[in-house]
Amino acid sequence: MIELVPAEHDDVAFLSLSQRIVNGAIAALEIRDVFLVHVDSWFDHKWLGWWSRKDLRVPPFTPNRVRSEKNFIWDVDKSMWRSFGLPKPLHIRRPGRRSLAQSLDQFSRNGAFIWYSGNTATNTMGSLMFYLSGADGYAWYAALKRDGQWAVADEFQITRRELVSFEERGYRLELART
């Protein structure tokens, strides 16, 4: 399981729900290379495919908004995820150069790129965005909201049913791990 580790002002319940969705999606899509980006605060659906719906590129979050960037690769021999440092950061400062945004294929030809929001303990809103390189524009965004408990509030380029399916699969993975 890939864990979403809390930072200051992160709601653990948001991270738990997001983690289930993320791990369920990774398992369902049989991904073996994952890039995980923790953004400082909520971001909206306008970041989804901001460059192009087909030619997915790293969204231009300014580096000071990025709390962490991690790369995980599935170790087939040990049946576990291994964390690796990024050879170069996904998010770099490019003043006035949005047209030079990095292609996902520069990092992985068949990898999942996932962004999730921080500061969820105070915001009561959270964001989760998933891009898949080498898959002709597979990308989606989910807005999560806390109203007593965390739940999907809105979705873009994915159905609520798919998100629930990913969450259920992620939950089963958690149970199998214990």
pTM for the whole structure: 0.94
* Inter-residue contact 119 to 38 (CB < 8 Å): no
Give the tens place of pLDDT for each residue, 18-47: 999 999 999 999 999 999 999 999 999 999
Residue 5 CB: number of other CB atoms within 10 A?
13
Rounded distance between C-alpha atoms, residue 141 and residue 42, angstroms: 12
Could you say which DSSP state residue 99 is in?
G
In this prediction, residue 49 carries a pLDDT of 81
Give the tens place of pLDDT for each residue, 105-128: 889 889 999 999 999 999 999 999
In this prediction, residue 51 carries a pLDDT of 67
- DSSP reduced 3-state for 6: coil
Give the tens place of pLDDT for each residue, 86-96: 888 898 876 66
* Inter-residue contact 129 to 140 (CB < 8 Å): yes
Tokens 């965005």 locate to 129
